[in-house]
Amino acid sequence: MRLGLSLDERYEQAYQDILTKPSKANMKRYMDLSKTVAECDMKEAKAKAKAATRESDKGFTEYFRAYGSKTPK
C-alpha cells in the first residue's frame, strides 16, 4: 500500500498497474479497492439521501403547521 495517497488516488494507481503490469496481485488490489470505493460511495449517498429526507420532512411539517391538515368532505 502506498502511504499518503487518497483512496481515489490508490484506486486510480491500482487501475493503471493492471493496465501496465497485469498480475493476480494487482487485480486483487484493484478489486479490493473497487469494493472499498463502492462502499464509501454508498455510505455517502445514503447520508445525502437521509439529509434530503429530513429537509423534506421539515417542509411538510412547516406546511401542516401553517395550513393544517383538514381533509375536504
**Across residues 27-46, what is the average pLDDT?**
96
Quick check: is 29 in a domain? yes
Quick check: is 30 in a domain? yes
**Across residues 7-33, what is the average pLDDT?**
96
Quick check: is 51 in a domain? yes
10-15, long-range: CB < 8 A, 24+ apart: 11/36, 11/37
Q: Where residue 65 falls among pLDDT bands split at 50, 70, 90? A: confident
Domain that holds residue 46: 7-67
CB-CB contact of 39 with 47 (8 Å): no
Query: Is the pLDDT confidence value at 66 over 80?
Result: yes
pLDDT of residue 70: 66
Quick check: is 1 in a domain? no
CB-CB contact of 28 with 18 (8 Å): no
Quick check: is 72 in a domain? no
pLDDT of residue 7: 92
Query: Is the pLDDT confidence value at 64 over 90?
Result: no
Give the whole-angstrom CA distance, residue 57 versus residue 49: 12
- Number of structural domains found in the chain: 1
Quick check: is 45 in a domain? yes
